[in-house]
Structure 1
Amino acid sequence: MTRTWFITGANRGLGRAFTLAALEQGDRVVATVRNPDTMADIAQERLTVLPLDVRDRERVIATVDRAFELTGSIDVIVNNAGYGLVGAIEELDEQLVRDQMDTNFYGALWVSQAAVPHLRKQGSGHIIQISTVGAVGSLPLFGLYNASKWALEGFSGSLADELRPFGIHVTIAQMGGFDTDWAKSSMKFGNALPAYDETRSAILGMPGYPDPSAPPPPNDYESEWVEASPEVAAAELISLVNTSNPPVRKIIGPGAQQMVAMALDQRRQDYASDPEFTWPA
């Protein structure tokens, strides 16, 4: 069966891998990017590229409407647009925080809201929210990035329950580490304060934040840990959409299962050590 996909942030990293994987299996793709020129090297009849900044709700609604108008129906919506933000909570100014939430959280919310009326009308569809294993636990310096994904997962769980009666699936894809631009040119950083030098050294291996425009430093741990290619994630996504009854949550990536298990174990320990509340006598 030929499917039609709608993929945000399709020009690089996971989004590009998802787009190519769908095209390679003969599907149609409506790919959205801020700059359509970045997709010029993928010239296929089954690919439609539309400009979109997911932070703009009115533009999102108009673009999703246009995509359904062009294709007639869309089977898979992939909310992939997003980026990483690193910084201690104290180091993040208002603009950094708002930009992170506008893209990672609100962007996916606006696309989901825009797509649902069309999916209900056609009585089918699968919304895939690209999340992270960081949405299960927490990590110093990644508080706002994780918060954006925790928020994404919060509404997506409810959305899954709301849309199930209409024959529409929602899956939260909790991704592990992949070899993309997420931790490279697309990542943003807070305003480094000396108080967090030790924290940065422990988490990032350096007392300050790297210059995103500079070449990446040599990786001393490269022989011990090699991130999987985006194509691995794309293959898992294809397998997911081929599932007749897809799960609400799907963990994807090497080591990701263990990361989720550790985070959940820590939460269980916290709850177990907390005595049950009793009213004072």
Structure 2
Amino acid sequence: MSRIIFITGASKGFGKLWAEAFLKRGDKVAATARNITALNELAATYGDKVLPLQLDVNNRAEVFRVVNKIEKHFGRIDVLINNAGHGLFGITEEVSEAQAREQMETNFFGSLWVTQAVLPIFRKQKSGHLVQVSSFLGITTLPLLGIYNASKFAVEGLIETIGLETAHLGIKTTLIEPNGYSTDWAGTSATRTDGGIEDYTPVREAFAEVGKNPNIWGKPEATVTPVLQVVDSPNPPQRLLLGNIAYDTVHKVYNQRLKEIESWKDVSIAAQGF
């Protein structure tokens, strides 16, 4: 039986690739984007298998209206893929209030609003799979991405908590944690600060030099099969790293953190007071 997949941010990048993969194999997809005309190609190719809808995930009332339309149209939602989001590049000290709030509004609150709107449907069904696109930068950090890192750290805590709250209801959660990929995420979709503080020039230059290495950018098409495997699994992982850089980096970071935790073990235990 085909499943009903709801994907936000489906106009390009991962969202579009994954939407097409689900549609090609016979699933039905509710695809949303801020600009609905960006979904015309999907609609023209897949007809009534796809439900294109305009959605700004920052607008909580609009999110609930759109989710209601999806449920009425398809009768259920089997998988939610929270994919809408964007990057904010710049030294943290240079980020404006408006830029910081916009980053958190979309990446964190947008995911929260969509999840809150879909969870009642999952609870009623006693089934559902919440797949949240996070980042390996929700576990570790890179310079010039301070607010983006923070938004993904927040998303990690949110989805892990929801997993604990809903597991007894038959609801599954998975955090997808990619490294950098050759999508538009770091291109025109991204926001950037002015970069005016000279003291940070060495940090900016080092970051730019690393970005010139083509081997750090994964091939977006290579993510399709792993995502299908996660959605199809009867026991999906709580977290799935995408890309060798994500795997190697997170493996190293966790080992370093455990070593530091152990080196301060006596101090930590003494802090309990008894």
Distance 1:154 1:173 in 2: 13
Q: CA deviation at 1:249?
A: 1.1
Partner of 1:7: 7
Distance 1:257 1:2 in 2: 32
Q: Deviations over 1:44-72 (max 9, x none)?
A: 12011000000011111111111111110
Q: Deviations over 1:62-120 (max 9, x none)?
A: 11111111110111100000011111210101000000000000000000000000111
Question: Does residue 242 of structure 1 match 2:232?
Answer: yes
Question: Does residue 254 of structure 1 match 2:258?
Answer: no
Partner of 1:53: 56
Q: CA deviation at 1:265?
A: 2.3
Partner of 1:145: 148
**Letter matched to residue 55 of structure 2:** L
Q: CA deviation at 1:220?
A: 5.3
The within-5 A match list for 1:68-83 is 68-83=71-86
Is this contact kept in 2: 1:129–1:173, CA < 8 A? yes
Partner of 1:216: none
The within-5 A match list for 1:138-217 is 138-192=141-195, 193-205=197-209
Partner of 1:272: 262
Partner of 1:209: none
**Paired residue secondary structure (2:6):** strand
Is this contact kept in 1: 2:179–2:218, CA < 8 A? no
Question: Does residue 102 of structure 1 match 2:144?
Answer: no
Q: CA deviation at 1:262?
A: 1.7
Distance 1:250 1:72 in 2: 29
Question: Does residue 21 of structure 1 match 2:2?
Answer: no
**Paired residue secondary structure (2:217):** coil
Partner of 1:212: none
Question: Does residue 233 of structure 1 match 2:223?
Answer: yes
Taking a change above 3 Å as real, the CA distance of residues 226 and 149 of structure 1, as seen in their structure-2 partners, is closer
Distance 2:194 2:221 in 1: 34
* % identical equivalent positions: 37
Give the alignment's Cα RMSD to 1 decimal. 1.7
Distance 1:255 1:71 in 2: 38
Distance 2:267 2:224 in 1: 44
**Letter matched to residue 59 of structure 1:** E
Distance 1:203 1:266 in 2: 22
Is this contact kept in 2: 1:177–1:254, CA < 8 A? no
> Structure 2: where are the runs of 5+ without partners?
none
Count of equivalent residues:
266
Could you tell which deviates more after superposition, 146-155 or 191-200?
Answer: 191-200
Which has the larger helix fraction? 2
Distance 2:205 2:199 in 1: 12
Distance 1:60 1:255 in 2: 34
Taking a change above 3 Å as real, the CA distance of residues 113 and 204 of structure 1, as seen in their structure-2 partners, is same
TM-score, length basis structure 1 = 0.90
Structure 1 residue runs of 4 or more that deviate by more than 6 Å after TM superposition: none
Is this contact kept in 2: 1:83–1:104, CA < 8 A? yes
**Letter matched to residue 137 of structure 1:** T
Q: CA deviation at 1:187?
A: 1.2
Q: CA deviation at 1:204?
A: 1.6
Question: Does residue 120 of structure 1 match 2:123?
Answer: yes
